[in-house]
């Protein structure tokens, strides 16, 4: 799942600003927390999450 700018996470604690990059394991985003600080959020990509051996990652 790719998140678009403006997507809110954890009851609006974080708001996605933009995608920074995508690699073999995940997608990295720049976000802002509810205090206005920039944070980086990395998620596992969809292909990795559906693998039967996902738990080892």
From the centroid of its chain, how far is CA 35? Answer: 19
Residue 42 is labelled as binding a ligand: yes
- Contact call for residues 16 and 2 (beta carbons, < 8 A): no
Task: Map residue 22 onto helix, strand or coil.
Answer: strand
Structure tokens given for 53: 């051996």
Annotated binding-site ranges for ATP: 42
Annotated binding-site ranges: 42
């Amino acid at each position: 799942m790719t998140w678009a700018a403006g997507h809110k996470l954890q009851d609006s604690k974080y708001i996605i600003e933009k995608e920074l990059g995508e690699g073999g394991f995940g997608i990295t985003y720049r976000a802002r927390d509810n205090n206005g600080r920039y944070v980086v959020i990395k998620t596992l990509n969809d292909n990795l999450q559906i693998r039967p051996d996902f738990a080892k990652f």
